[in-house]
């Protein structure tokens, strides 16, 4: 709680607010609309997998070897589906093609962010709570650093695109670090396309997905 209270309010009130003031309401307003748009289908990126992982590993940590690869495969499939459907929905709703690239980058940010959450759910399931608390704020901490460079130096121009790039970099590094930590707990990671395993896991995660969907609505 202490770590979160130190980092996340500073991101919201310090960095995000400063970017909004510097860019102006029009530019930031466009970003905010697009950001909320890519959240519409974000339930596909988790489908209850994070909650399921934490719960299942807490009961039996020995499952991490097989479970991680199977769920990682599911997340890759759903991530591809999410990006495709988000772009299709953008076309159906008539979004101008000039903002499609921003929509794509924001959607990719969501994918990386949810992978980071999935990796963290494994850490939490192994009951390594101190490590998980650090990983939970790592992305925001890195984004504070990168966005501060945009705000307070002249190295890069402060605009919406670079603001999104800064978030992408923060998410990427955080996900890489959390994955590296999990990698020390398992011998290998492989894609498992066994239909029976994937269907079984899908059925088990369905209640968690329903919870996520209701919360989104």
Give the CA-trace dihedral at 194, 200, 202, 205, to 10 degrees: -140
49 neighbors 114 (Cβ within 8 angstroms):
no
Taking the C-alpha atoms of residue 80 and residue 92, their distance in angstroms, rounded to an integer, is 18
The 10s digit of each residue's pLDDT in 138-163 is 999 999 999 999 999 888 999 999 99
State the pLDDT at residue 114: 94
The 10s digit of each residue's pLDDT in 3-22 is 778 888 888 888 888 999 99
Across 57-71, 94-108, 110-124, least confident range: 57-71
State the pLDDT at residue 112: 96
Residue 81 — very low, low, confident or very high, per pLDDT cuts 50/70/90? very high
**What predicted TM-score, i.e. pTM, was given to this entire model?**
0.89
The Cβ of residue 156 has, within 10 Å, a number of other Cβ atoms equal to 12
The 10s digit of each residue's pLDDT in 188-201 is 888 877 677 677 77
State the pLDDT at residue 70: 84
86 neighbors 41 (Cβ within 8 angstroms):
yes
């Amino acid at each position: 709680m202490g770590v979160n209270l130190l980092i996340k309010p500073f991101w919201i009130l310090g960095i995000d607010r400063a970017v909004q003031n510097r860019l102006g309401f029009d530019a930031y307003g466009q970003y905010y609309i697009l950001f909320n748009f890519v959240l519409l289908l974000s339930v596909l990126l988790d489908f209850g997998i994070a909650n399921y992982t934490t719960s299942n590993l807490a009961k039996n940590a020995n499952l991490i070897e097989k479970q991680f690869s199977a769920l990682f495969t599911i997340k890759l499939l759903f991530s591809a589906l999410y990006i495709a459907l988000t772009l299709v929905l953008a076309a159906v709703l008539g979004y101008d093609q000039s903002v499609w690239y921003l929509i794509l980058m924001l959607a990719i940010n969501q994918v990386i962010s949810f992978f980071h959450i999935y990796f963290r759910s494994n850490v939490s399931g192994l009951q390594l709570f101190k490590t998980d608390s650090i990983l939970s704020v790592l992305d925001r901490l890195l984004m504070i650093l990168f966005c501060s460079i945009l705000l307070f130096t002249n190295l890069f121009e402060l605009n919406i695109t670079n603001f999104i790039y800064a978030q992408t970099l923060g998410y990427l590094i955080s996900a890489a670090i959390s994955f590296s930590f999990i990698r020390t707990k398992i011998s290998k990671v492989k894609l498992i396309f066994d239909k029976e395993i994937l269907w079984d896991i899908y059925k088990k995660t369905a209640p968690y997905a329903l919870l996520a969907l209701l919360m989104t609505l």
